[in-house]
Chain A
Amino acid sequence: MRAAWLICAKDLKARLRDRSAILIGIVVPLGLAFIFNSIFSGISGGSDVISLGVVNADHGVVSQQFTGAILPAVGRSGLIAIHPEAGLTQARALAAKGTLSAVIVIPAGFSARVQAGQPASMQVIGNVDAPVSTEVARSIAESFAADLNRIRLSVATVAAGTAQSAGSAPLPPARIQALAAAAAAAAAPVAVNDVSAQTKELNQKSFFAAGMAVFFLFFTVQFGVTSLLEERNEGTLARLLAAPISRASILGAKLLTSFLLGVISMTVLVVATTLLFGATWGNPLGVAVLVVVAILAATGIMALIAAVARNAEQAANWQSVVAVILGLLGGTFFPVSQAPGVLSRLTFVAPQAWFLRGLGDLRGGSISVVWVPALAMLGFAAVAGGLALTRLRHLGEV
């Protein structure tokens, strides 16, 4: 046991001295998280208030209802800011510049046409690069138009039904007006009720911090397990085995080195990203559980590759390939879970995906939510680590 500690301490000292582990485990992920975060924070992620312009060239009864009742209700949520504009030309210029996402225009004579039962139309001018906001504006106008159509269609349906049953002349205007008033007063048949859901997404800062940390974790832990192969190449493994040290101690020491390197790297990264650019990792205990099982999973997978590789160089090459593929699939650079079809489910072959999901769930729930992702990562650690151990047991027998 003491021998294991000594080997581990020697390895850790060597790794920290040649600086490569510090570079891969701390400097590079921290640097990249910082760069990504500063680039992306200058970009609006479509989560802004929609600036909606309104031009009312009509000023009639019907358009007053839209600008006086419908739009204030829409604006009350604070999600859409209503800007009344005096002239069409100016409003169109603002939409072209992108100052306004979209403009709803009610043309002159709109109310008169609506009241006379003639075809009428409203216009939506959208900024060319804001298709989603334009669609929201169009939907607001469309809802209002649909309600006007409901009244017309209600009157027309009753009129048609009466005409069929009575076989008589069209309804008198007074009756039509009474029907229209009744239809307007009728409650909408279907209501939409807002239910707010929680957010289980990491915010941008935390996503880049966590994504880069877990991506480079897989590179950091390989310094431990792969040094076993280096010792074999350089002949120092044979000398260790000749000494009264059990194979289990040597193997344990190398795995422990990986684990400790992972702990150092992740701890520094969690603390540094929290202090330096305000990443929010969540409940400390939950984060600790996720970090520990992620390190175990990374160590297990990297140990398995070291176990099947012929030499240290081959191991390092394949470890990089696997770490990069799993990192990409695990969504450490961009959220693969938003990809279409099978790709979004493929993400869960990567422990990184479970780590990020665990952190996301932790944001929207109590600490109990980490058990499923933690168990999934433990599964990776157990399977890969178990296979690695059965092969590495025979190490040095060449």
Chain B
Amino acid sequence: MKVLWIALANLRRMFRVRTNIFFVFVFPMALILVLGATFGGSYTPRLGVVSAGSGPLGAALLRQLEQTPHLRVVTVSDPATLLTQVERGNLAAGVVIPPGYDGAVSAGRAVTLRYLARPDQSSQQLGETVRGAVARQAALLGAARFAVTQHSAPSFSAGLAEATRIAPAVPSVSVTQTTAGTALFSRSLGQFDEGAWTELLLFLFLIALTGAVALIETRRLGVARRMLATPTSPATVVAGETLGRVLIACVQALVIILGSALLFGVNWGAPAGVAAVVILFALVGAGAGIFMGTLFRNEQQAIGVSLLLGLGLGALGGCMVPLEVFSPAMRRVAHITPQAWGNDAFARLVGHGASIGGILPQLGVLAAYAAVLLTLAAWRLRRVLSA
């Protein structure tokens, strides 16, 4: 019973500080939203297009570009802005359809589009997609112009109308497309899904590590001393402090999971599996946080080390870039972190619809982490408290 009271006191102390609510709940949720909106789904390069004053044919070329798959077209007001946006990397590349494009093409003059690309390869390779779109439109424009030069059409516009009319009936040379290989990422993932579970693991661990700060404070303010002055055994205090950290993590996970599911429609997978991962991960975090709390006396130092370990291990464990894109050697290194095992578990739960039975290996590893860290933490804490 006493264990529970100590745990609840921990919980109350945590959430009485309003700024903690920000770091525990609001900030992770905001990150899930921002990351999902920016990088969610597959990467689509953005092509900036300036087409002001280019007339109906310019607009038709713009539509042709917009229909290109795996390319997002962003219209930009003028060439100077386009150049800056491309140079700053906000756009992958840019194309300028000059003013008077329509008139020049109609009059049979040579027209040149400017393609703006940075020196890097991905920016320049995108030029082929622009050439493809231009070539598709040029089929009609070229036919119209040819009809005029061969005196079979009175004007360019008449030739264009004629070419457009008969084009569907002319047998064409086409390009078909298929894909090969098995996808790295499950196709069933929603825009916010992967970001949601990686941020959850990142922040569960980070906040758990800052539990070290709370523990230092408990010692500094003499709360631990006073508890031990009552008929309470050190074992009870250790259990209470640990349960407190686990409870905080569980409340955090519950709010983030329910909140992101309701607000951004995040899919989390089989509830039993999610609960198992979260509880084991909370135990791992509690062990790590308390262990660290016994190593430092200064709260500022503990915060510094928490940030370094929390963000560093998170990044290494695939919480910032997915493990799937790591090199094989790096992926093996990543699996020294509990985050990597947590990420694997969620990838199976969400990406492949696995049930709790499908993530037993990951749960086993997390349980081992929890056992080792909690044993270390309990041993150190008893020593520190009785000192």
Q: B140 in the interface, Cβ–Cβ < 8 Å?
A: yes
A194 to B90, CA, bound (A): 19
Grouping DSSP codes into helix (H, G, I), strand (E, B) and loop, the A interface class, with mixed when no group exceeds half, is: helix
Smallest CB gap from B27: residue in A = A324
* Cβ B181 vs Cβ A189 within 8 A: no
* Cβ A32 vs Cβ B176 within 8 A: no
Within 8 A of B (CB), among A20-36: 20, 23-24, 27-28, 31-32, 35-36
A139 to B315, CA, bound (A): 36
* Cβ B308 vs Cβ A157 within 8 A: no
Within 8 A of A (CB), among B88-105: 88-90, 94-95, 105
Q: B87 in the interface, Cβ–Cβ < 8 Å?
A: yes
Q: How many residues of A contact B (CB 8 A)?
A: 113
Report which of A24, A127, A161, A317 forms a contact with B17, defined as CB distance below 8 A. A317
Q: State whether A77 and B170 are in contact (beta carbons under 8 Å apart), knowing that A46-B43, A146-B139 are contacts in the complex.
A: no
Interface string of B278-319 (1 = CB under 8 A from A): 000000000000000000001011011101100110011000
Q: How many residues of B contact A (CB 8 A)?
A: 115
* Cβ A126 vs Cβ B178 within 8 A: yes
Residues of B within 8 Å of A134, CB to CB, are 70, 177, 179
Residues of A within 8 Å of B119, CB to CB, are 196, 198-199
* Cβ A47 vs Cβ B159 within 8 A: no
Smallest CB gap from A28: residue in B = B308
Chain B interface: which of A243-251, A290-298, A328-336, A377-385? A328-336
A393 to B171, CA, bound (A): 84
* Cβ B88 vs Cβ A200 within 8 A: yes
Interface string of A277-296 (1 = CB under 8 A from B): 00000000000000000000
* Cβ A195 vs Cβ B139 within 8 A: no
* Cβ B325 vs Cβ A43 within 8 A: yes
Q: B149 in the interface, Cβ–Cβ < 8 Å?
A: yes
Residues of A within 8 Å of B172, CB to CB, are 119, 145, 149, 152
Q: B116 in the interface, Cβ–Cβ < 8 Å?
A: yes
Q: B174 in the interface, Cβ–Cβ < 8 Å?
A: yes
* Cβ B304 vs Cβ A189 within 8 A: no
* Cβ B304 vs Cβ A27 within 8 A: yes
Chain A interface: which of B3-11, B107-115, B268-276? B107-115
A122 to B304, CA, bound (A): 59
A381 to B69, CA, bound (A): 46
| Number of cross-chain contacts by CB at 8 Å | 356
Q: A168 in the interface, Cβ–Cβ < 8 Å?
A: no
Q: B31 in the interface, Cβ–Cβ < 8 Å?
A: yes
Shortest distance in angstroms between B239's beta carbon and chain A's nearest beta carbon?
A: 28
Smallest CB gap from B181: residue in A = A96
Residues of A within 8 Å of B263, CB to CB, are none
Q: B131 in the interface, Cβ–Cβ < 8 Å?
A: yes
* Cβ B138 vs Cβ A146 within 8 A: yes
* Cβ A122 vs Cβ B43 within 8 A: no
Q: State whether A154 and B180 are in contact (beta carbons under 8 Å apart), knowing that A142-B136, A190-B137, A200-B87 are contacts in the complex.
A: no
Query: Apart from A135-B68, A360-B89, what are 14 other A-B pairs with CB-CB below 8 Å?
Result: A23-B305, A27-B304, A123-B175, A149-B172, A152-B171, A156-B166, A156-B170, A160-B162, A161-B162, A189-B142, A190-B141, A197-B83, A339-B38, A340-B38
Interface, chain A (partner B; CB < 8 A): 18-20, 23-24, 27-28, 31-32, 35-36, 39-40, 42-43, 45-50, 74, 77, 79-80, 92-93, 95-98, 114, 117-129, 131-136, 138-143, 145-150, 152-154, 156-158, 160-162, 165, 179, 182-183, 186-201, 317-318, 320-321, 324-325, 328, 333-340, 343-344, 357, 360-361, 364
For the complex of A and B, 6 pairs with smallest distance between CB atoms: A161-B152, A139-B132, A20-B300, A23-B304, A146-B135, A154-B146
Q: What are 9 A-B pairs with beta-carbon distances under 8 A? A: A18-B298, A23-B304, A42-B330, A47-B122, A129-B181, A154-B147, A186-B149, A197-B87, A201-B89
